[in-house]
Structure 1
Amino acid sequence: MKYKWTVVWIGMLCLLIGLGVYSATQKSDSAQSKGTIVFGDANWDSIRLHNFIAGFIVEHGYGYKMDVTSGSTAATFTGLRQGEIDVLMEVWPNNMLDAYNDAIKSGDIKTVSLNYQGRQGFYVPTYMIKGDPDKGIKPMTPDLKSVSDLKKYWKLFKDPEDPSKGRIVGGYSGTEAQKITEKQVSDFGLSDTFNYFTPGSEGALNASIVKAFKNHEPWVGYYWTPTWLTSKYDLTLLKAPAYNKKTWEKNYGTEFPPDKVYISVNKDLKKKAPDVVKFLSHYKTSSDLTGEALVYMQDHDATPQKAAEWWLKKHEAIWTKWVPKNVASKVKAAL
């Protein structure tokens, strides 16, 4: 009988200890996860990088889970408006001005910070204009300064599928830049001498530029900053007619306006995660800081997540200013 009660008491003690561990685990899990913050991935590298920089801080510093929803520019922006996405780390209003203004006016989204400023337009390799004595390259287009100058050099850019015209490479499929640049080729009077070519993806666009540099060939097409490519290769942005708001809104017949790249959130995120919104309101980088991380990603074959962690370790003095000290301590410990 004495042995029987000993077994019973030991069993009860184990049960109590088990319940205590379970309760502690539940409290720990609850403390670690306050909900999920959904970031939008509009399918370019810089937005992915910023997703994981912010996401790492959100997860390890604030205790939320991070999730990512991928789609086109239009699809992710619609998702932001509808609340399926909480955060877009890069909103380029110039590429979707009507939709952006409507979303702001209706109150569907809130823009909380200027992440950085970028540039867009038609570029050529700088060696075409200035040459490269170290590589024995002579200037091919010494007087090429603007998009209108392309007409007299079209033969250098012959379209392999239609040698009667040059080829100008536009924005890749599924982007607003594709629609804009295709219209610009016509508005800039280049349709008589150039065919407009749409790459199927960002990778295909990048590959065409890398190939040109590798073989020191002529190339002209749409690109933007910041990217690993513009940080690594010397490209010159061609001048276009000065930006005019009325003309731009009518037919995109000017240079791209200065690009302010914003961080925008769904209107309900402030209720759901006010601490995250406050953090994002302090988030600010630059074209150079972003480009640096993209070069790291390319040179080390790193994922956006690994590049983000590398960036956070290198630029502790920058991101620690965005968050309270206790949050910074948690993030540094996780790194």
Structure 2
Amino acid sequence: MKTIQALLAGLLLAAGVASTDSAASADRHTPIHFGALTWESGALTTEILRLITEHGYGYLTDTLPGSTVSLEVALARNDLQVIAEEWAGRSPAWIKAEQAGQVFALGDTVKNAEEGWWVPDYVINGDNQRDLKPAAPGLKTVEDLKRYPEVFRDPESPGKGRFLNSPSGWTSETVNTQKLKAYGLDEFYTNFRSGSGAAMDAEISAAIRLGHPVLFYYWNPTPLMGRYKLVRLEEPPFDAQAWATLTNAGNPNPKGSQSLPAKLSIGVSKAFREGYPELVSMFEKVDIPIDRLNQALAAMSENRTPPRDAALAFLRDNPEVWKAWLPAEVTAKVEGSL
């Protein structure tokens, strides 16, 4: 009887091991869905993390498209597992999901990130090399913009200036639209939305190359910050209550405030956080120096390099950066893949 019991126990144990191995195998054949971010830093960071996840840990990955808010909603439902560059706490969708314990922001991936309203330096100080006179020499704050709509004239709306906003669907587009109202600038400036991040970049770059005044929303890290000399306009200090009115598109009386201090993290779903502890541990250690990132982004933009190829180049050129995130055995696998 004892022999039979031992045999049965052994068979059950073997079945359990086989079942566990089978589950693990199935798990590794189910892709981890990353959000397909359309801005350069987000696209590059996505591919860096995908390459490490695939080659270092052996998981399949893919990307799913969508606007910022729709990706956050998908993350809360676990239809999506990872958003590689999450400006956490900026949208109601994220805040609601985070409070419900459905999404988590891992790490502090890029220090000194920022966002705001910018103009080229030559608009304020001129440019002797290009013989450009200051067009708005007194411009320092968003309040000062009321004096200069003619400087940033909108060719499609005579008598108004043009503010170049984010594309529709971005969380920042809602915030900027509310800021125009809060600062009393909506009567002086048209709220112009580009069709995409690439179209937005093209319009800004074309204006700067021609030496034309341009007023626009932007953020850092980006190739634009490394390529041109820009000035960020001053806004009222950050106020949490005012910020809540800016992130709510339906609020009829938004209050002015500098944007929420930036903290870039990796957004993950609850199921991912519980099911992939080794990836969670790695994501929490990700730290990309902003100067290295801006250099990589500038090269990617200037050479029109696909983000996947730019990510490979980043891993090859900056081993001391990413090796600090990984255990030795994973580092060896990633190195072998390069």
Output the TM-score relative to the length of structure 1.
0.87
Question: Deviation at 1:54?
Answer: 0.8
Query: Which residue matches 2:203?
Result: 208
User: Once structures 1 and 2 are overlaid, which stretch shifts more, 317-326 or 187-196?
Assistant: 187-196
Question: Deviation at 1:273?
Answer: 2.1
1: CA distance, partners of 2:131 / 2:279: 53
Q: 1:257 aligns with which of 238, 255, 260?
A: 260
Check if 1:288 corresponds to 2:291.
yes
Query: Which residue matches 1:102?
Result: 96
Check if 1:307 corresponds to 2:310.
yes
Check if 1:59 corresponds to 2:54.
yes
Runs (5+) with no aligned partner, structure 2? 1-21, 246-253
Q: 1:198 aligns with which of 193, 201, 223?
A: 193
Kindly provide the amino acid, as one letter, of the partner of residue 58 in structure 1. T
SS of 1:298 mapped into structure 2: helix
Query: Which residue matches 1:87?
Result: 82
SS of 2:161 mapped into structure 1: strand
Question: Deviation at 1:100?
Answer: 2.3
Kindly provide the amino acid, as one letter, of the partner of residue 283 in structure 2. L
Query: Which residue matches 2:136?
Result: 141
Aligned ranges 1:243-282 → 2 under 5 Å: 243-250=238-245, 251=254, 253-282=256-285
Query: Which residue matches 2:223?
Result: 228
SS of 2:148 mapped into structure 1: helix
Kindly provide the amino acid, as one letter, of the partner of residue 267 in structure 1. K
User: Once structures 1 and 2 are overlaid, which stretch shifts more, 319-328 or 35-44?
Assistant: 35-44
For residues 34-62 of structure 1, the C-alpha deviation after alignment (integer angstroms, 9 at most, x for no partner) is 64221112322211111110111111111
Alpha-carbon spacing, 1:64–1:226, altered in 2? closer, same or farther (3 Å): same
Question: Deviation at 1:261?
Answer: 1.2
1:212 and 1:219 in contact (8 A); partners too: yes
1: CA distance, partners of 2:45 / 2:103: 19
Kindly provide the amino acid, as one letter, of the partner of residue 156 in structure 2. E
Query: Which residue matches 1:23?
Result: none
SS of 2:139 mapped into structure 1: coil
1:38 and 1:67 in contact (8 A); partners too: yes
User: Once structures 1 and 2 are overlaid, which stretch shifts more, 79-88 or 111-120?
Assistant: 111-120
For residues 270-326 of structure 1, the C-alpha deviation after alignment (integer angstroms, 9 at most, x for no partner) is 343221111111112143232221111112210000111111111100100101111
Query: Which residue matches 2:175?
Result: 180
2: CA distance, partners of 1:35 / 1:279: 20
Check if 1:237 corresponds to 2:201.
no
1:167 and 1:195 in contact (8 A); partners too: yes
Aligned ranges 1:109-128 → 2 under 5 Å: 109-117=103-111, 118-128=113-123
Task: Report the identity percentage.
Answer: 32
Q: Please say which structure displays the higher CA radius of gyration.
A: 1
2:46 and 2:85 in contact (8 A); partners too: no
1: CA distance, partners of 2:81 / 2:54: 14
2:89 and 2:95 in contact (8 A); partners too: no
Q: 2:154 aligns with which of 147, 151, 159?
A: 159
1: CA distance, partners of 2:127 / 2:329: 52
Output the TM-score relative to the length of structure 2.
0.86
Question: Deviation at 1:184?
Answer: 0.8
1:32 and 1:63 in contact (8 A); partners too: no
Query: Which residue matches 2:19?
Result: none
1: CA distance, partners of 2:228 / 2:318: 24
1: CA distance, partners of 2:105 / 2:145: 38
1:151 and 1:190 in contact (8 A); partners too: yes
Question: Deviation at 1:119?
Answer: 1.3
1: CA distance, partners of 2:242 / 2:131: 42
SS of 1:38 mapped into structure 2: strand
2: CA distance, partners of 1:88 / 1:59: 16
User: Once structures 1 and 2 are overlaid, which stretch shifts more, 319-328 or 273-282?
Assistant: 273-282
Instruction: Give 4+ residue runs of structure 1 displaced > 6 Å after superposition.
Output: none
Write 1 or 2 for the structure with the bigger share of helix: 1
- Alignment root-mean-square deviation, CA: 1.9
Alpha-carbon spacing, 1:31–1:219, altered in 2? closer, same or farther (3 Å): same
